[in-house]
Amino acid sequence: MKCLVWDLDRTLWSGTLLEGFEPTLSDEIRETIVELDRRGILQSVASRNDHDHAWEWLEKLGVAEYFVLPQIGWGAKSESVREIADKLNFAHSTIAFIDDQPTERAEVTYHLPEVRCYPAEQVAELLSLEEFTPATITVDSARRREMYQAGFRRDTARAEHAGPDEDFLRSLDLVMTIGRATEQELARAEELTLRTSQMNATGVHYSDADLRALLADPDHEVLVVTMADRFGPHGAVGLLLLEKLGKAWHLKLLATSCRVVAFGAGAVLLRWLATETAEAGAHLVADFRKTERNRMMEVAYRFAGFRTEDCECLAAVGTQDVQHLHLVPQRHEPPTTMTLDAVRLA
């Protein structure tokens, strides 16, 4: 599951606000909210209540910050759940809904049959259920909610910005950090090789064991790219696997999250890497394997100056089942739409 949608009355708390009930939160429910958040599962609210009154109580109980896109009003629960899924751009099959009323669960199931529904008395079991237990919890899992909330604020500001989009990008104070992968980042690095498709140069999956082997090899760099701006973190958004072979630097994989394409992250990485290679007096050779979805990555390589021409440096790389794109050494300045900071190389 990617998101759990909570009912409030007689579910999150035991009584009904309209009947004058003053809510308390059980230790069990508070623990469930906090742990689901740590696991990277978003949470929201679909409740028939006065919005301001209900939200005030969520704030008093200290859990309001855990809920994204709350739908508190008088409409059908199915419409509330649908709106949450649409705004998050999540498939209905990744949404769960918990409510004390069988009729409410039935109404959601009728209109949204892929949404999983749970009775309120099952709260105690949620943390032990397979669908709420990710196989791995990455370094970004615990801050997933924070990243989504920052994204909502960013999108609002972008919609309200009256000038050119480039001016808005400059106003974000974007910072990219490139660093050698840490132990805590390996799970996220593997995830990037597995789940990133449009901005993935080869589509090759590198397992945790593969990445650890490369980390242990002094000729290889496993570089994780993170981003942040004035609204908050974007988290780990890119991965570079680089082999240094004397006068040839071999870029085995470049993968960036699709959510940072609009910020020009791929172009910044390629320009930075081209400059690093040029300063080392080496040629940069990049692997590229065309897939059904990575046309954007091929375009990014071409715009960065990569070509398929022959060069002596290709002999050092060997003959893999990939296309080799070659870049003649030259310095490149990063685009002004992004600030490059804290570039760390082991």
DSSP code for 61: T
Cβ-proximal residues to 234 (8 Å cutoff; 6+ apart), any chain: 147, 150, 226, 227, 228, 257, 259, 260
**Lookup: tokens for 79:** 């419409």
Residue 39 pLDDT level (bands cut at 50, 70, 90): very high
Q: With b meaning 16 or more CB within 10 Å and e meaning fewer, what string describes 192-204? A: bbeebeebbbbbb
d(CA 71, CA 118) in angstroms, rounded, equals: 18
Rounded mean pLDDT, 148-176: 90
Contact 297, 289 (CB under 8 A): no
d(CA 72, CA 76) in angstroms, rounded, equals: 10
- Using one digit for the tens of pLDDT, what is the confidence trace for 169-211? 888 888 899 999 998 899 999 988 888 877 888 888 999 999 9
DSSP code for 278: H
- Using one digit for the tens of pLDDT, what is the confidence trace for 4-26? 999 999 999 999 999 999 999 99
Cβ-proximal residues to 158 (8 Å cutoff; 6+ apart), any chain: 165, 168
Note the pTM of the prediction, 2 decimals: 0.80
Residue 330 pLDDT level (bands cut at 50, 70, 90): low
**Most confident by average pLDDT, 26-35, 200-209, 270-279, 320-329:** 26-35
d(CA 252, CA 275) in angstroms, rounded, equals: 17
| Alpha helical stretches, state H, 128-260 | 144-160, 165-171, 186-195, 208-216
Supply the pLDDT for residue 337: 42
d(CA 14, CA 16) in angstroms, rounded, equals: 7
Residue with tokens 């059908």: 76
- Dihedral pair phi/psi, residue 21, rounded to 5°: -70, 135
d(CA 109, CA 75) in angstroms, rounded, equals: 16
Rounded mean pLDDT, 298-304: 84
d(CA 305, CA 157) in angstroms, rounded, equals: 34
Residue 346 pLDDT level (bands cut at 50, 70, 90): very low
CA distances to 66, 195, 300 from 295, in Å: 37, 16, 9
CA distances to 129, 140, 208, 240 from 214, in Å: 35, 22, 10, 11
Whether 241 shows a pLDDT value over 90: the answer reads: yes
13-22: which pairs have CB atoms within 8 A and are 24 or more residues apart?
A: 13/57, 13/61, 17/49, 17/50, 17/53, 17/54, 17/57, 18/49, 18/50
DSSP code for 127: G
Whether 254 shows a pLDDT value over 80: the answer reads: yes
